[in-house]
Amino acid sequence: MSMKKIAKKLVSKQRGILAADESNTTISKRFKELSINLNEENRRSWRNLLLTSKGIEEFISGVIFYDETIHQNSDNNQSFINLLSSKNILSGIKVDKSLHKLAGSNQENITEGLDGLSERLIIYKDMGLSFAKWRALIVITDELPSDYCISVNAHALARYAAICQEQSIVPIVEPEVYIEGKHSIYKSKEVNEKVFKKVFTELIEQNVDLESIILKPSMIIQGDKNADILSAEKIAEINVEFLLSNVPFQVPGIAYLSGGMSDDDSISILRNINQYAKEKETPWEITFSYGRGLQSAAMHEWRGNNENIIPAQKIFIERCKQASMARQGL
Ligand code: 13P
């Protein structure tokens, strides 16, 4: 399948992406909060629970994996990649090597992982993976972000995207502006504007084909420690107007991350964004690429206990269904 077709399929009507690519460190944090034992078998069991949920293919177009999971099998001894492919779901992979201290700055981070990326992608492609993900994180405080941090992260994101496309892998470009902080929604918008300008300048300079990427931004929203909360309708309007001014029409799809928003917000704001986007006749598909937004409630039900698998799967599928409806503005 061509990269354009893969990108279109990932954001096809009614469906969105499941981000199940938590690194071992990140999933350990989630497990620890629920007193789930931290071991490889539990990580496999959790992903097995998600991916074998009945009806997942109706709502999910692609799943992003972490490297460990692509070497694992389902309870029925089928590789997770083959299991998904039998359900018409694309498999992707997180290829960045997480955040590292940014040299020349005391407080900010750079996402690493470019070294040997080409070689890793060749292996991933052979295994049947068709898309990849790289997350840059931009933090807001009274002093941050620095232009330097935005600039080097944008450069790395575009380098990653160019390398992916050279190997016919669709890059998900994720410039996350962090929700943590006291900032207002207007500050979030201002920072996102700077970040998007830099990211698209870099993508274009590095000859990335914008028709063969998926953009994965955070929603423009107030910081989690800011009590000045606008209605979902107003937040949606700010987001869609922002996209109209900052995202080239060639990009086929925008797949938001859930970024620690509440379950209710991640659905209601996405629904309002799609309603407003329809009115404005925006050129892109607008969908979800949620990690916590799809998984949290189900993981709370499961808690590492086999007896809770069926009810946890029901909760997971219900979340997928709600996100799918919201993605259609319903
Ligand atoms: P959340 O939806 O939990 O933010 O995860 C999405 C993701 O892929 C972050 O990189």
Helix spans in 60-115 (H)? 67-70, 80-86
CA distance 137 to 5: 28
Helices (H) and strands (E) in the chain, counts: 13, 10
Query: What would the pLDDT profile of 285-305 be if each residue is shown by its tens digit?
Result: 999 999 999 999 999 999 999
Residue nearest (by alpha carbon) to ligand 1 atom 5: 291
Phi first, then psi: give them for residue 216, nearest 5 degrees.
-120, 85
Read off the pLDDT of each residue in 255-276 and give the average, rounded to a whole number: 98
CA distance 288 to 247: 17
Does the beta carbon of 43 sit less than 6 angstroms from any atom of ligand 1? no
Does the beta carbon of 175 sit less than 6 angstroms from any atom of ligand 1? no
Question: What is the Å distance from ligand 1's center to 79 Cα?
Answer: 23
For the stretch 98-104, contacts whose Cβ atoms lie closer than 8 Å and that sit 24 or more positions apart, written own/partner, are 98/23, 98/25, 99/137, 102/148, 102/149, 102/152, 104/148
CA distance 177 to 140: 8
Does residue 216 carry a catalytic annotation? yes
Read off the pLDDT of each residue in 315-323 and give the average, rounded to a whole number: 98
Position 106 scores a pLDDT of 87
Mean pLDDT (the chain) is 98
CA distance 173 to 13: 20
Helix spans in 132-262 (H)? 147-166, 185-205, 232-246
Question: What is the Å distance from ligand 1's center to 61 Cα?
Answer: 16
Residue nearest (by alpha carbon) to ligand 1 atom 1: 291
Amino acid at 166: E
Question: What is the Å distance from ligand 1's center to 217 Cα?
Answer: 10
**What is the DSSP annotation of 15-78?**
-EEEE----HHHHHHHHHHTT---SHHHHHHHHHHHHTSTTHHHHEEEEEE-HHHHT-B-TTS-
Question: What is the Å distance from ligand 1's center to 70 Cα?
Answer: 18
Which of the listed residues 263, 266, 290 should we mutate to test ligand 1's pocket, taking the one with most ligand atoms within 8 A of CB?
290
Does residue 9 carry a catalytic annotation? no
Strand partners, 138: 177
Which of the listed residues 257, 261, 265, 270 should we mutate to test ligand 1's pocket, taking the one with most ligand atoms within 8 A of CB?
257
Position 204 scores a pLDDT of 98
Query: Containing H/E element for 99?
Result: strand 99-101
Q: What percent of the chain has pLDDT over 90?
A: 100
Position 89 scores a pLDDT of 98
- Angle at CA 123, nearest 5°, toward 119 and 125? 110
Which of the listed residues 65, 258, 267 should we mutate to test ligand 1's pocket, taking the one with most ligand atoms within 8 A of CB?
258
Query: What would the pLDDT profile of 20-71 be if each residue is shown by its tens digit?
Result: 999 999 999 999 999 999 999 999 999 999 999 999 999 999 999 999 999 9
Residue carrying structure tokens 């606008």 = 230
